[in-house]
Amino acid sequence: MLRALELARRGPAHGPNPRVGCVLLDADGAVLAEGWHAGAGSPHAEAAAVADARARGVAVQHATAVVTLEPCAHTGRTGPCSELLAEAGVRRVVHAVADPNPVAGGGADALRSRGVDVVGGVRAPEGEELLRIWLTSVRRGRPWVTVKTAQSLDGRVAAADGSSRWITSEQARLHAHRLRGEVDAVVVGTGTVLADDPALTARTPEGTPAAHQPLRVVVGERDVPQGARMRGPGGELLHLRTRDLDGALRSLAAREVRHVLVDGGPTLVTALLRAGLVDEVHTYVAPVLLGASGRAALGDLDVPTMADARRLVPHEVHRLGPDLLLVSVPVPPEEGP
């Protein structure tokens, strides 16, 4: 299963489908073939593993399939993997995580009905961690929301005159562009569009456009200027003329958007935090001081006392040139100290 998880990570982080890996074993536990899902429209991991076995001239009758996610029972861009494995002669399937998708789930029962032995929950914590973004999106009916802020040491995102280029270093900005290349959509409010005119593209360290360009989403009722940079080359532009943030996220989920990066500004980020719609916070902190006249990274979170403070759990800390990146996860109110 650890090898299957390793294979799954070869698939793209973005896209509507989960990252899945599959290892086929013979009766003695020796590896017959391997496969992983390379993205929407390509063979699923199970089909890729069976194809790998056939290319090697290896029979998979009576084999065991070790898969990171329960094989699907749905015909979409490809056929159901549960049926493929049963027809190939696989006699045992071991998976880490059950598929919560109401459309594609049910593969374990379909396999059992064909006489295949199915074991679930093997290395489930590792599987859940690998698939946390996709699983959260499917279970909640909205994308995983990552909020990104780039701020000074004293919590400011712009100087008194509104200028913000550049608070953080080139190394931090390159890291942020790599993150853009791993998400399905980048979201900003109309205030950020009018104040900063961002392009919202993903670029490589060489400054060229990345292979994957995220959907560019603007939330708010004001118009996006015709000459805005985000109307230029890059991902598709989607303007959601609403202040209903939960509704906006659910409309993105209907487009199979699984992961969004909220790239500013303070008004939108604050509103999402207040609504409890943030799953992860990426805070880039530069050793720069802008003082009280600078623009604060957040607005009012309705925290009258320390007992009401919004708590987060730090997961990762990275040094990026002179800057630091803190990756943290909000603590749900019922789990707070």
| Largest distance between two CA atoms of the chain | 71
CB of 64 within 8 A of CB of 92? yes
Q: What is the mean pLDDT of residues 212-219?
A: 95
2-137 maps to CATH 3.20.20.140: no
Which sequence positions are flagged as catalytic?
46
CA–CA dist 49, 43 (Å, integer): 9
Range name among 7-11, 77-81, 330-334 with the lowest pLDDT average: 330-334
Q: What is the mean pLDDT of residues 214-242?
A: 94
Q: What is the pLDDT of residue 79?
A: 75
With CA atoms as reference, report the closest residue to 170 among 213, 203, 214.
203
With CA atoms as reference, report the closest residue to 114 among 74, 86, 75, 81.
86
Write the CA distances from 119 to 65, 98, 111, 189, 300, integer angstroms.
Answer: 10, 10, 11, 46, 49
Q: Where in the chain is the domain with CATH 3.40.430.10?
A: 143-335
CA–CA dist 192, 198 (Å, integer): 8
What average pLDDT does the chain have? 91
Helix axes 81-88, 45-56, angle to 10 degrees: 30
**pLDDT category, 336, cuts 50, 70, 90?**
very low
Q: Is 128 helix (H, G, I), strand (E, B) or coil?
A: helix
CB of 153 within 8 A of CB of 285? yes
The proportion of the chain whose per-residue pLDDT surpasses 90, expressed as a percent, equals: 74
pTM over 0.85: yes
Q: What is the mean pLDDT of residues 231-237?
A: 94
Q: What is the mean pLDDT of residues 308-331?
A: 92
Q: Where in the chain is the domain with CATH 3.40.140.10?
A: 2-137
Q: Is the pLDDT of residue 104 over 80?
A: no
Q: What is the mean pLDDT of residues 274-299?
A: 91
The proportion of the chain whose per-residue pLDDT surpasses 70, expressed as a percent, equals: 97
**pLDDT category, 334, cuts 50, 70, 90?**
low
CATH of 143-335, one of 3.40.50.80, 3.60.20.10, 3.40.430.10, 3.40.50.300: 3.40.430.10
Token digits of residue 65 = 């399939």
Q: What is the pLDDT of residue 337?
A: 45
Q: Which residues contact 322 (CB under 8 A, 6 or more apart)?
A: 169, 171, 286, 287
CA–CA dist 188, 149 (Å, integer): 12
Q: What is the pLDDT of residue 335?
A: 46
pLDDT tens-place string over residues 36-78: 999 888 999 999 999 999 999 999 999 999 999 999 987 767 7
**pLDDT category, 195, cuts 50, 70, 90?**
confident
CA–CA dist 284, 58 (Å, integer): 50
CA–CA dist 95, 57 (Å, integer): 25
HSE value, Cβ hemisphere, 13 Å, CA-based, for 99: 26
Range name among 103-107, 265-269, 275-279 with the lowest pLDDT average: 103-107
Q: What is the pLDDT of residue 293?
A: 86
**pLDDT category, 333, cuts 50, 70, 90?**
low
Q: Which residues contact 327 (CB under 8 A, 6 or more apart)?
A: 280, 281, 282, 283, 314, 315, 316, 317, 318
3-state secondary structure 266-285: HHHHHHHHHCCCCCEEEEEE
Residue 289: how many CB atoms within 10 A of its CB? 10
